[in-house]
Amino acid sequence: MSRPVPRDELNLPLAVTSLMKGVVYRDTAETAWRHVLGLAAQISDYVATLGLAVVIDEAEGYAFLRSKGDDELADLGIPRLVARHQLPLHTSLLLALLRKKLAEHDTTDAGNRLILTSDQLRELITPFFPVSANEARTADQADTAIRRVVDLGFLRRMPGQDGEYEVRRVIKAYVDAQWLADLDTHLAEYADTMTQEQR
């Protein structure tokens, strides 16, 4: 466990800038993490003026900024800072499958990181691609979905371990327990979408 930063040494610009750049993890950005924890209330006040809220999960070891809801932004009279973008179908599906895998992992091996190989990730997503004789194309599509999830920060390449990825726990904040509980319904929706795409 890292020691807290003395109150007079806390650095608000460091904490806010780190959060603006993306998720701050305890295990990979210990200095920024300690400043974020020590300045949580000040960060919350500061980013609220931009229509953002800070989310800190000390147990899981991550913090990030989230846009306030559209109704709340309208009440404040400010536009959304970050535009919403719809994720490609297979990227969304891989996120859901990874969240489910993490939940299963936590019930059997709580406390340890979930590490998956490239092959395991492909095996997760491949059944949801249209049946094709071109296996190389399917593998490329699966790799594209994996790269997108890495770019989004939900998977991290393991340093020095070629083809191994850690599922980042921040995925729990984006794919919540209710959505996970409805996963079978969502998978049926994905299947319908794929059927329509094949026609």
> DSSP state, 23?
-
Angle between helices 118-125 and 135-152 (to 10 degrees): 110
Residue 19: the pLDDT is: 94
Comparing 74 with 55, which gets the higher pLDDT? 55
* Residue 168 CA: distances (Å) to CA of 62, 116, 120: 9, 11, 16
Residue 32: the pLDDT is: 94
Instruction: Please give the domain boundaries of the chain with CATH numbers for all domains.
Output: 7-76 (1.10.10), 89-198 (1.10.10)
Highest mean pLDDT among 11-15, 67-71, 175-179: 11-15
List pLDDT tens digits, range 138-196.
888 899 999 999 998 899 999 887 889 999 999 988 877 666 667 667 666 666 666 56
The answer to whether the CB of 19 falls within 8 A of the CB of 65 is yes
Residue 184: the pLDDT is: 66
Q: Give the whole-angstrom CA distance, residue 61 versus residue 153.
A: 14
Give the confidence band of 131 by pLDDT, cuts at 50, 70, 90.
Answer: confident
Tokens found for residue 109 = 């091996």
Highest mean pLDDT among 8-17, 71-80, 182-191: 8-17
